[in-house]
Structure 1
Amino acid sequence: MSLRSSFATLAGKTSRWFLQTFFKGGSSLPGKIALTIDPNVLDQLAKDYHIIVVTGTNGKTLTTALTVNILKQEFGEVLTNTTGANMLQGIVSTFLSAKKNKNGKNFAVLEIDEASLSKVTEFLTPELFLFTNIFRDQMDRYGEIYTTYQLIVDGAKKAPEATILMNGDLPIFNSIDTINPRQYYGFNHEEDQELQAHYNTDGVLCPHCHRVLQYKMITYSNLGKYYCPNCDFKRPELTYQLTDLKETTNVSAKFVIDQEEYSIEVGGLYNVYNALAATAVAEYYGISPEKIRSGLAYDEKVFGRQEVITIDDKTCTLVLVKNPVGLNQVIDTMKMAPFDFSLVALLNANYADGIDVSWIWDSQLELLQDMDIPKVISGGERKEDMTLRLKVAGINEELLTEVPDLKSVISEIKTAPTEHVYILATYTAVLNLRKELIQQGYIKEAN
């Protein structure tokens, strides 16, 4: 390591110690300081690591957590960016916190923002990329889905020998050739039939001839066993496949992947995809089914991913939502709940959320009418937009309460007529709500 890199590392680690000791935070600042001193410091910090990069629109955080937990069963300590700091300075901060295994391999599993991937791969060389999905999300940052896909492909080609392990059920991942070798995971759990995606679905045009794709099986949105009726474009052969979906509830799922039965303690079909992705990584590294089962048994809820919080006598499930596909999947999961619940919808429009909130109009909030929800609370910095959307979706105005701030949100939750409450919130709304709940003593601040 050069003198400059050594000084940058020392400064970064010192600032990290100071921030954690006195302020209990500072996930990205140490990396920013180190990069200011040496823009190439990551190249040195990441040396001798087997690096797996997880990127895509939805599912990065839980997929990363599950992958880390599985790899731990085989290799011991695994480095990861648990704080969600997934841009360049956050990745540097992650490596500044590293504790290498004295014996065996050193793995790093990194969740990386789609737009940041090319910047990160300038300085480190992954051996495996995991692509979860590409959906329309934060149009002000990423643009259309094909622009986003090009961003991550450009990032991956800077490590051309690394394999891309991608969701084979998503047509966009088969739309262009890549320098990198590819493997695919996906669902093969139903008999073939002739289907078309919902008319309001993105990414259903054949990239070769631009005809509307047909499906033999659809899981959700434009995911499934697709083919073009006009040319030879179709879903590629799957290397890793889910062949039986035994049970899905609002809090768990059981399924079979490559002849082995597994389960997870988190609800929703979208989270089964996350578990399938993590299992595919494990199989890629030759990890046994027994250790995969132990890793998937991870039951600590990740920040904002069906995180359960108790507020007085109310059991609240906090779920991050950020785009139409994700919100629709959450609504489908809520429908499976075997209990009555109230609903909170918090909408912010900061940079981290996406400043364009028009996406709420493309979600299927009308499905809430069928759930007989006795109380609906709208809040957040764009509460008026959310209130209007809920009214148009058919929510009875007598059941709908718009609140001015998060203290009022918590007060309204306490008076909800149900024991259970679902809280759907955009990214900064989740952060702000958790901060308020910490101040009121309902949850503990993370170390």
Structure 2
Amino acid sequence: MSLKSGIAKFAGKSSYWFLHNVLKGGTSFPGEFAMKIDPEVLSSLGQGYETVIVTGTNGKTMTTALIVEILRKKYGDILTNPSGSNMLQGIVTAFLAHKNKKAKRKIAVLEVDEANVKMVSKLLHPSVFALTNIFRDQMDRYGEIYTTYDKIVNGIKLAPDATIIANGDASIFSSVKLPNKKIFYGFKLADDKKENDFKAPVNTDGVLCPRCDHILHYHERIYANLGDFFCPNCGYHRPDLTYTVNKIIKQTPNSLKFQMGNRDYSINIGGTYNIYNALTAYSVARYFGLTDDEVAQAFEENKRIFGRQELIKYNGKQIDLILVKNPVGLDEVLHMLNTEKDNYSLVALLNANHADGIDTSWIWDADFEGLDKKKIKRLLVGGQRWHDMGFRSEVAGFDAGKMVTTTDDDSLIEELDKLPTKKVYILSTYTALLSLRKAMAEKKIIKAGM
């Protein structure tokens, strides 16, 4: 370690201690501070670690948490960035904050923003890239899905010896020839569906063949552009899968039971998209030598994590706080709500800050019309762009008489008390979610922090 790196590390750790023990916060500033002294401090911090980079549009935080939970069963302490601070400065902070407990194997499992993969790969030389999916998301920042994937590929090219563990149901992930060893996972629910030949719905993005630009066809489609795809024009098709989900046994908004291989697995969270997250985590766990029994036990013990279907109990109400950030993710959450058997109240919070994406037109691409509105006894809209969310809800067919508008967090929390149902689902963009959690912490409804 150079003198400059040593000074940067000391300064970063000192600022982290002060922020967390005196000011009770700070997930990226210590890393930013350390990088001002040594822009490549991450290289020295990461020496000796086998690093797993988890990236993609949706599912990074949940997948990272599941991988960490599983690997801890076998190897003990795992370094990670649990707050979801997934840009370079946040990752440096994760290393600065790590207490270096005894572990059988030095492993870092890091959620990494797609645009930061190249910078992180350059400094850490990862062992594994776990790729979840690519959808349109914050197009003002990322551009089209092909631009996003290029950013990831540019990072992978810096680590040709790393293993790629990728969603084989996403056509984009097998489209670029790379020297890396590849392991693909996906859904394989029925062999007899190989005779099927159909297209995705017309508004689905990412359904052009990456090789010839013909429209892809499907034998089986799970959601969005994910499934058993093939191109009738050039023959491009889904790669062979090493790990598969073979059956979805039961789904509720708060639980999933499914089959991988010849074994059933359960996790305490809802949504088909979370089965993909579990499958990604399973594939990484198998790479690190864990058994099916160890994975199953970790799944059953998995905890709700910050903002990703976080469960909050407040004044007799069961509140599910769910992050939404793009049309595909929002669509899947809406489909998950339709598995709810009881009546519930729905809260929709929309902000348009840089971290959310400043263009809110994506809410029009999600299927609010398809919600079972008979079960929704009250709709509450809020956030900085409450008027956009309110108008979208009216167009979707919600009764304006059942809709309540709030313009700040304090009034929102007051309205939560008045909702007529025990179950409440809050769908929120990122900065609106942060703001609401802060207000809830100040009122002692939840603990501060993440």
TM-score (norm 2): 0.97
Instruction: State how 1:18-29 maps to structure 2 within 5 Å.
Output: 18-29=18-29
User: Are the aligned partners of 1:12 and 1:33 in contact in 2 as well (CA < 8 Å)?
Assistant: yes
Structure 1's unaligned 5+ residue stretches are: none
* Contact 2:69–2:302 (CA under 8 A) maintained in structure 1: no
Aligned to 1:78: 78
Q: Which moved more, 1:140-149 or 1:295-304?
A: 295-304
Match of 1:220 among 220, 223, 247: 223
Match of 2:360 among 340, 357, 361: 357
Residue equivalent to 2:378: 375
| Cα shift readout 1:311-355 (whole Å, capped 9, x = no counterpart) | 222211110000000011101111111210011000001111111
Question: 1 CA distance for matches of 2:128 and 2:217?
Answer: 31
Deviations 1:210-251 (A, max 9, x none): 222111111111110011112211100001111122222211
The total of aligned residue pairs comes to: 447
Unaligned runs of 5+ in 2: none
* CA drift at 1:160: 1.1
- Specify the SS of the correspondent of 2:303: coil
State the partner residue of 1:160: 160
Q: Counterparts in 2 of 1:394-433, with a 5 A limit?
A: 394-433=397-436
Q: 1:431 aligns to what SS in structure 2?
A: helix
Following superposition, the deviation at residue 158 of structure 1 comes to: 0.8
Q: Which residue of 1 aligns with 2:233?
A: 230
**Equivalent residues in 2 for 1:15-414 (5 A)?**
15-102=15-102, 104-190=104-190, 191-192=192-193, 193-368=196-371, 370-414=373-417
Q: CA deviation at 1:283?
A: 0.9
**Counterparts in 2 of 1:356 and 1:3: CA distance versus 1, 3 Å:** same
CA distance in 2, matches of 1:440, 1:98: 30
Name the stretch that deviates more: 146-155 or 287-296: 287-296
AA aligned opposite 1:401: V
**1:3 alignment counterpart:** 3
1:358-412 Cα deviation digits (max 9, x unpaired): 1001111111254441211110001111111111111111111221211111112
CA contact (8 A) 1:100 1:106 kept: no
Q: Deviations over 1:424-445 (max 9, x none)?
A: 0000111000011111111111
Q: Does the residue aligned with 2:354 lie in a helix, a strand or coil?
A: coil
Task: Check 1:420–1:102 CA distance in 2 against 1; reply closer, same or farther (3 A cut).
Answer: closer
Give the match's secondary structure for 1:374. strand
Provide the C-alpha distance between the structure 2 equivalents of 1:50 and 1:42, rounded to a whole number of angstroms: 14
For structure 1, which segment, 289-298 or 353-362, has the greater mean C-alpha deviation from structure 2 after superposition? 289-298
CA distance in 2, matches of 1:93, 1:121: 16
Separation in structure 2 between the aligned mates of residue 335 and residue 274 of structure 1, nearest angstrom: 20
Displacement, 1:162?
0.4
- Are the counterparts in 2 of residues 12 and 93 from structure 1 also a CA contact under 8 Å? yes
My pick for the range that moved more, 200-209 or 354-363, is 200-209
1:439 aligns with 2:442: yes
Deviates more, 1:254-263 or 1:356-365: 254-263
Q: What SS does the aligned partner of 2:419 have?
A: coil
161-170 or 403-412: bigger deviation: 403-412
Q: Secondary structure at the match of 1:122?
A: helix
The TM-score normalised by the length of structure 1 is 0.98
**Separation in structure 2 between the aligned mates of residue 213 and residue 289 of structure 1, nearest angstrom:** 34
Contact residue 229 and residue 238 of structure 2 kept, 8 A: yes
| Partner Cα separation in structure 2 for residue 386 and residue 275 of structure 1 | 31
Distance in 1 between the 2:438 and 2:85 partners?
A: 17
Q: State the alpha-carbon separation in 2 of the partners of residues 307 and 319 from structure 1.
A: 7
Identity %: 49
Preserved CA contact (<8 Å) 2:67 2:281: yes
* CA contact 1:50–1:126 (8 Å) conserved in 2: yes
Alignment partners' CA distance in 2, 1:320 and 1:409:
17
Amino acid of the structure 2 residue aligned with 1:88: L
Q: Quick check: 60-69 or 117-126, which moved more?
A: 117-126
- Give, in angstroms, the shift of residue 157 of structure 1: 1.0
- Distance in 2, matches of 1:159 and 1:175, equals 18
Instruction: Report the Cα distance in structure 2 between the residues aligned to 1:92 and 1:299, rounded to whole angstroms.
Output: 26
What CA distance in whole angstroms lies between the structure 2 residues aligned with 1:204 and 1:371? Answer: 34
Letter in 2 for 1:267: G
Counterpart-to-counterpart distance in 1, 2:408 and 2:99: 41
- Measure the CA separation in 2 of the matches of 1:298 and 1:141: 36
**Distance in 2 (alpha carbons) for counterparts of 1:110 and 1:340:** 38
* Cα drift, residue 295 of structure 1: 1.5
Residue 101 of structure 1 deviates from its aligned partner by 4.7
Do the aligned residues in 2 keep the contact of 1:51 with 1:125 (CA within 8 Å)? yes
With over 3 angstroms needed to count, the CA separation of the structure-2 counterparts of 1:62 and 1:14, relative to structure 1, is same
Residue 313 of structure 1 contacts residue 414 of structure 1 at CA under 8 Å; is this kept in 2? no
